[in-house]
């Protein structure tokens, strides 16, 4: 959906799962299933199954997060990265998540905690450079470091994917706390599983939209 | 000669009178307090807390505001709840029914003495003994769409493949069958124990009177194992409805929530959706459902006793 210029929400954070762009993207997937271009067992597969199939050479293309080479070091020299997919309307996109650092309002020293976390976020580069983190850094100053720029895979992602990456809040521009509940509800997984089983797009979208609506209303 | 005890004369005996007239001694009760407090903490406190959570709009971080029956009303308007209730019902129904029939058949088979009986008993207990993670992962390999033994056998007959975990209907069948496979040994073991205490003279007398095997089973065996059967059924219903690991390890409630029972729904609401109030409400409704079912069955047992 995001690759097609769609998203779960409007710019005003109103749920918009049934937008034209979303329906077009989901219809494309449904057509692939209908035309038997999708393996029939896909609905029961997990991310680990995909990694396993790709690592055994049973998959040509694999949507993954950064750091796949570290997960599959034995075949790291056998695969490469491709440019972000371009939708039929010329949209490029991918999804990304930010691992937020949270602090408790009800803590005894919230101001001091915030001060410490700000300091921490400015000085945590060692987490990557000393091999404790394989994900992308949020800070541009970290991303500009030779440690990241010198790694072809990371540099490719930083240059090509990060500029077009969007959050699950899209088309809203900023993330909000309810997104956590929206993702935890699992409505989108159920939606994709329904489509992969060949079920009707409109009824599947309606079911998912109702579930997401109930989460957002709570 | 039957033994008769005259309760009136016992009540008037000096020993009993002495006991009744003894002054109240608080020490035994004081000594019990520690145990009672411990039981309260580990049994009732979590339960009361759970009930309290179900009346609040809480998250994993805070208890939240009191919403009365709000969470329950939300559940009654939720298609997910009815979907989970339905799956829990058919999951428990088929598990109890088939594991009972299978367990009883095997218990009847293992009841008489024959060479290798001990080995058969141990071998048939394996599904119950093996840890859930090991057995369910093994089952996943067996029913895998590619290279799974079941589909290889089907393929050799020109049938299949069946995508057991990828189609809602087949996923439900797979989860139920695997639960039955994990449950029947317990049924078998308990029923075997019940069969072995039936006095064999009943069967000898019936045989002399010309009863056939079916009549002996229907008139002697079944009435003697009726009570244990009801208890087993109650236990199996409780264990089926409370089962988390079978659907979670096999399908995680999918595809499209087809195998999501009430416990998985409670888990999803609590830990996925961060809605502890709604998750607790599902758990409390599940508890009420189990209590009602258990009460009905125990009353039935008491009536027939």
Give the pLDDT score at B20.
Answer: 62
pLDDT of residue B145: 87
Q: In A, which residues are within 8 Å of B257 by CB distance?
A: 186, 190
Q: Which of B256, B257, B270, B278 to mutate against chain A (most A CBs within 10 Å)? A: B256
| Whether B237 contacts B293, CB under 8 Å | yes
Nearest to B256 among A181, A194, A215 (CB): A194
Q: Which residues contact A83 (CB under 8 A, 6 or more apart)?
A: A160
Residue pair A179/A20 in contact (Cβ under 8 Å)? The answer is no
CA distance A151 to chain B (A): 35
On the question of pLDDT at B4 being above 70, the answer is no
**How far is the CA of A79 from the CAs of A59, A73, A74, A155, in angstroms?**
11, 11, 11, 16
In A, residues 193-212, which contact B (CB 8 Å cutoff)? Answer: 193-194, 196-197, 199, 207, 210-211
Could you give the number of structural domains in chain B?
2
Question: Is B233 inside a domain boundary?
Answer: yes
- Determine contact, residues A38/A199, Cβ cutoff 8 Å: no
CATH number of the domain that B97 lies in?
1.10.3720.10
Residues B47, B176: one domain? no
Q: How far is A26 from chain B (nearest CA, A)?
A: 16
Which DSSP symbol is given to A35?
A: T
CB B262 within 8 A of CB B178: no
**Chain A residue closest in CA terms to B70:** A218
Domain residue ranges of chain A, discontinuous segments joined by +: 1-97+167-218, 101-166
pLDDT band, very low/low/confident/very high, at B5 (cuts 50, 70, 90): very low
Specify whether B288 is located in the same domain as B168. yes
Does one domain contain both B46 and B150? no
User: Is the CB of residue A13 less than 8 Å away from at least one CB of chain B?
Assistant: no
Whether B163 and B212 share a structural domain: yes
pLDDT tens for each residue of B238-254: 999 999 999 999 999 98
- pLDDT for B305 equals 64
Task: Give the ipTM of the model, two decimals please.
Answer: 0.81
Question: How far away is chain B from the Cα of A198, in angstroms, using its nearest Cα?
Answer: 10
- Whether B1 is in a domain gets the answer no
Whether residue B8 is predicted with pLDDT greater than 50 in this model: the reply is no
Q: Each residue of A96-148: pLDDT tens digit?
A: 988 888 888 888 999 999 999 999 999 999 999 998 888 898 899 999 999 99
Longest distance between any two alpha carbons in chain B, whole Å: 86
For residues B60 and B180, membership in a common domain is answered with no
Q: Domain A1-97+167-218 belongs to what topology? A: D-Maltodextrin-Binding Protein; domain 2 (3.40.190)
Cβ pair A41:B268 closer than 8 A: no
Q: Is residue B102 part of a domain?
A: yes
B133 close to B140: Cβ distance less than 8 angstroms: no
- Across the interface, of B79, B165, B257, the residue whose CB is closest to A44 is B165
Q: Are residues B190 and B56 in the same domain?
A: no
- Give the C-alpha separation, B285 to A142, whole Å: 51
The region of weakest confidence among A137-141, B6-10, B213-217, B271-275 is B6-10
Residue B14's pLDDT band (cuts 50, 70, 90): low
Top pLDDT among B153 and A217 is at B153
**Cα–Cα distance, B265 to B85 (Å, whole number):** 9
In a domain, B73, yes or no: no
Distance (Å) from the alpha carbon of A56 to chain B's nearest alpha carbon: 14
Q: How confident is the model at residue B170 (pLDDT cuts 50, 70, 90)?
A: very high
Instruction: Supply A39's token pair.
Output: 């393996």
Contact assessment for residue A72 and residue A64, using Cβ atoms and an 8 Å cutoff: no
Q: A137: which residues sit within 8 A by CB, 6+ positions away?
A: A125, A128, A143, A148
pLDDT score, position A166: 94
d(CA B184, CA B162): 25
Instruction: Tell me which residue in B251, B252, B274 faces A184 most closely, judged by beta carbons.
Output: B274
CB-based contact A43 B271, cutoff 8 Å: no
Pair B219, B265 in one domain: yes
The confidence score (pLDDT) of residue A183 equals 87
B216 to chain A, closest Cα gap in Å:
48
What residues of B are in contact with residue A214 (Cβ under 8 Å)?
Answer: 74, 78
pLDDT of B23 above 60: yes
Residue B291, in any domain of the structure: yes
The closest of B254, B263, B259 to B289, measured between CA atoms, is B263
Confidence (pTM): 0.83
CA distance B227 to chain A (A): 42
**How many CB atoms within 10 Å of residue B75?**
22
Res B155: pLDDT: 92
Domain that residue B12 falls in: 7-66
Residue B62, helix vs strand vs coil: coil
Which residue in the set A44, A106, A214 is minimally distant from B78, CB to CB?
A: A214
**Does B129 share its domain with B247?**
yes
**Which of chain A's residues have a Cβ under 8 Å away from the Cβ of B165?**
41, 44
Residue B72 inside a domain? The answer is no
Q: Give the residue, A21 or B305, on which the prediction is more confident.
A: A21
């Amino acid at each position: 959906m995001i690759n097609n210029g769609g998203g779960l929400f409007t710019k005003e954070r109103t749920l918009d799962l049934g937008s034209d762009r979303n329906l077009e993207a989901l219809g494309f997937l449904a057509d692939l299933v209908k035309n038997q271009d999708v393996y029939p067992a896909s609905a029961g597969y997990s991310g680990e199954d995909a990694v396993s199939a790709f690592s055994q050479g049973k998959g040509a293309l694999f949507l993954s997060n950064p750091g796949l080479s570290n997960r599959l070091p034995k075949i790291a020299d056998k695969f490469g990265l491709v440019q972000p997919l371009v939708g039929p309307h010329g949209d490029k996109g991918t999804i990304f998540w930010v691992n937020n650092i949270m602090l408790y309002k009800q803590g005894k020293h919230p101001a001091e905690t915030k001060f410490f976390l700000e300091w921490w976020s400015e000085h945590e580069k060692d987490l990557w450079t000393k091999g404790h983190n394989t994900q992308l850094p949020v800070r541009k100053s970290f991303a500009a470091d030779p440690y990241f720029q010198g790694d072809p895979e990371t540099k490719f992602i930083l240059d090509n994917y990060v500029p077009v990456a969007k959050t699950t809040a899209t088309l809203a521009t900023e993330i909000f706390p309810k997104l956590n509940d929206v993702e935890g509800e699992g409505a989108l997984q159920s939606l994709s599983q329904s489509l992969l089983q060949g079920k009707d797009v409109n009824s599947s979208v309606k079911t998912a939209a109702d579930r997401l609506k109930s989460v957002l209303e709570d | 000669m039957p033994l008769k005890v005259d309760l009136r004369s016992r009540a008037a005996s000096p020993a009993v009178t002495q006991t009744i007239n003894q002054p109240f001694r608080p020490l035994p009760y004081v000594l019990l307090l520690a145990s009672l407090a411990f039981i309260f903490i580990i049994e009732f406190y979590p339960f009361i807390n759970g009930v309290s959570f179900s009346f609040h709009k809480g998250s994993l971080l805070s208890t939240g505001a009191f919403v009365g029956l709000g969470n329950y009303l939300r559940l009654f308007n939720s298609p997910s709840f009815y979907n989970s209730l339905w799956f829990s019902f058919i999951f428990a129904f088929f598990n109890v029914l088939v594991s009972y029939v299978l367990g009883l058949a095997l218990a009847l088979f293992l009841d008489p003495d024959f060479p290798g009986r001990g080995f058969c008993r141990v071998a048939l207990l394996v599904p119950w003994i093996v840890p859930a993670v090991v057995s369910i992962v093994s089952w996943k390999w067996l029913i895998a769409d590619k290279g799974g033994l079941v589909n290889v056998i089907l393929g050799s007959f020109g049938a299949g493949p069946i995508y057991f975990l990828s189609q809602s209907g087949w996923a439900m069948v797979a989860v139920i069958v695997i639960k039955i496979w994990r449950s029947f040994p317990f049924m078998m073991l308990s029923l075997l124990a019940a069969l072995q205490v039936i006095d064999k003279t009943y069967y000898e007398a019936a045989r002399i009177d010309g009863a056939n095997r079916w009549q002996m089973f229907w008139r002697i065996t079944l009435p003697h194992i009726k009570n244990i059967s009801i208890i087993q059924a109650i236990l199996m219903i409780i264990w089926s409805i409370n089962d988390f690991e079978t659907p979670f390890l096999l399908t995680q409630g999918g595809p499209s929530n087809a195998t999501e029972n009430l416990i998985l729904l409670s888990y999803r609401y609590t830990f996925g959706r961060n809605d502890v109030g709604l998750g607790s409400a599902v758990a409390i409704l599940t508890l009420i459902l189990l209590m009602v079912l258990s009460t009905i069955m125990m009353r039935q047992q008491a009536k027939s006793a």
